[in-house]
């Protein structure tokens, strides 16, 4: 059976109201002998239940007809008002959706695309906002906008596995994509489509089944996260090493707490520092921050690097310190985030 459009529903509602008005006017004119104006007045105050006085005392037949009119008008008015109000509400919602999906997103560059706005998607958005990253959410439900959606972000309503939806989210100029859809096959399609549209995109995918990890990586996913595995490991660590986790809870990665862990990309090291070591640059002595990790340009990680480790262009430093200490280190290295 073909589904009625919003316009058809409104026309039906208006037709029902018109029909009840015609029945009411005709009934009062025939039964009570009222004039057209008095019959219309009686019909309007009856079906609207405003409680104004009658133009004259009704006959028994008139009273029965009035009761019939009141009962029959309940359903008519309820349907008509619901249909019309829903139409205007959806119109306003579509107006907001057009705003989120075009003007805001077109201005974005190096943003993050979040596919799916369930519990994991909400948490991802919250963390990205804390880091100061711009992001666009793709979800098939308009309810996202009504659940406290961040108005500074972008929103696209649609299926993230479709090319046109990802293009609308400006995935071609995005820095990364995080797909948190509940079905692994959908995340696989999203990864394949996104990788074809943007070969340089950093893709992170949620997975529910361990067997899906290999397939997702073959599809171009850089990192696969299994919430159940992460949650289980965390709960086990709370028993096995509770003090370590409590210690890590005191280290912030958002740059707001007194002690912050942050990564610094060494893309613009001064000419006179390009052949120097950590000790020779004097990072610890000048800033007071601690370098707890080092990533080489070819992707190798060095934990707790020695003072003799050479800081080269394209490497990354993982630094623990106060925001002021870290900002001072960035000035020394002329790091570009």
The DSSP result for 96-130, as a single string, is: HHHIIIIIIHHT--S-EEEE--SHHHHHHHHHHHH
Q: Compare 271 and 206 and report the one with higher pLDDT.
A: 206
Question: Coil, helix or strand for 167?
Answer: helix
What span, in angstroms and rounded, lies between the C-alpha atoms of 302 and 3?
A: 62
| b/e sequence 97-113, b meaning 16+ C-beta within 10 Å | beebbeebbeebeebbb
- pLDDT confidence bin for 1, thresholds 50/70/90: very low
pLDDT value, residue 321? 82
pLDDT value, residue 336? 39
Are 314 and 267 contacting, i.e. CB atoms less than 8 angstroms apart?
yes
Q: Which of 146, 120, 121 is nearest to 136 (CA)?
A: 121
**Residues in Cβ contact with 242 at an 8 Å cutoff, skipping those fewer than 6 apart:** none
CA distance to 4, 12, 119, per residue, from 1 (Å):
9, 17, 35
Residue 248 predicted with pLDDT over 50: yes
Mean pLDDT of 133-151: 76
**What tokens appear for 194 in the block?**
């996104």
pLDDT digits (tens, 9 = 90+) for 86-104: 666 555 555 455 545 555 6
Q: Return the minimum-mean-pLDDT range out of 88-97, 117-126, 293-302.
A: 88-97
pLDDT digits (tens, 9 = 90+) for 303-327: 888 888 888 888 888 888 888 888 8
Q: Work out the percent of the chain whose per-residue pLDDT is above 90.
A: 16
Are 161 and 193 contacting, i.e. CB atoms less than 8 angstroms apart?
yes
Q: What is the mean pLDDT of the chain?
A: 80
Strand order across the beta sheet in which 135-139 lies: 154-157, 135-139, 112-115, 176-179, 202-206, 223-225
Domains with residue ranges and CATH for the chain: 6-94 (1.10.287.70), 108-230 (3.40.50.720), 250-333 (3.30.70.1450)
**Residues in Cβ contact with 91 at an 8 Å cutoff, skipping those fewer than 6 apart:** none
Burial of residue 222 (number of CB atoms within 10 Å: 0-12, 13-18, 19+) = middle
- pLDDT confidence bin for 193, thresholds 50/70/90: very high
């Amino acid at each position: 059976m073909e589904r009625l459009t919003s316009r058809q529903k409104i026309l039906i509602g208006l037709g029902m109201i018109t029909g009840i008005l015609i029945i009411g006017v005709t009934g009062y004119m025939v039964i009570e002998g009222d004039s057209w104006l008095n019959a219309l007045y009686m019909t309007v105050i009856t079906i609207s239940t405003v409680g104004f006085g009658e133009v004259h005392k009704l006959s028994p037949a008139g009273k029965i007809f009035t009761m019939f009119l009141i009962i029959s008008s309940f359903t008519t008015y309820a349907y008509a008002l619901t249909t019309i109000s829903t139409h205007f509400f959806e119109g306003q919602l579509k107006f907001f959706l057009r705003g989120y999906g075009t003007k805001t997103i077109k201005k974005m560059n190096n943003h993050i695309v979040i596919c799916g706005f369930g519990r994991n998607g909400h948490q991802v958005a919250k963390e990205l906002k804390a880091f100061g990253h711009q992001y666009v959410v793709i979800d098939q439900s308009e309810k996202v906008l009504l659940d406290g959606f961040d108005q500074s972000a972008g929103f696209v309503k649609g299926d993230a596995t479709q090319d046109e939806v990802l293009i609308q989210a400006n995935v071609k100029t995005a820095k990364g994509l995080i797909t948190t859809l509940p079905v692994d096959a959908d995340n696989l399609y999203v990864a394949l489509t996104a990788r074809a549209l943007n070969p340089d995109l950093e893709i992170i995918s949620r997975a529910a089944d361990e067997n899906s990890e290999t397939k997702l990586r073959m599809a171009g996913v850089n990192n696969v996260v299994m919430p159940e595995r992460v949650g289980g490991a965390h709960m086990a660590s709370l028993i096995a090493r509770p003090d370590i986790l409590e210690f890590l809870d005191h280290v912030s990665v958002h740059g707001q707490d007194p002690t912050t862990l942050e990564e610094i990309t060494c893309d613009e090291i001064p000419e006179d520092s390009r052949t120097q070591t950590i000790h020779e640059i004097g990072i610890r002595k000048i800033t007071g921050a601690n370098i707890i990790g080092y990533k080489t340009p070819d992707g190798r990680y060095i934990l707790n690097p020695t003072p003799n480790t050479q800081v080269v262009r394209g490497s990354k430093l993982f630094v623990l310190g106060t925001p002021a200490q870290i900002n001072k280190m960035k000035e020394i290295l002329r790091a570009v985030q």
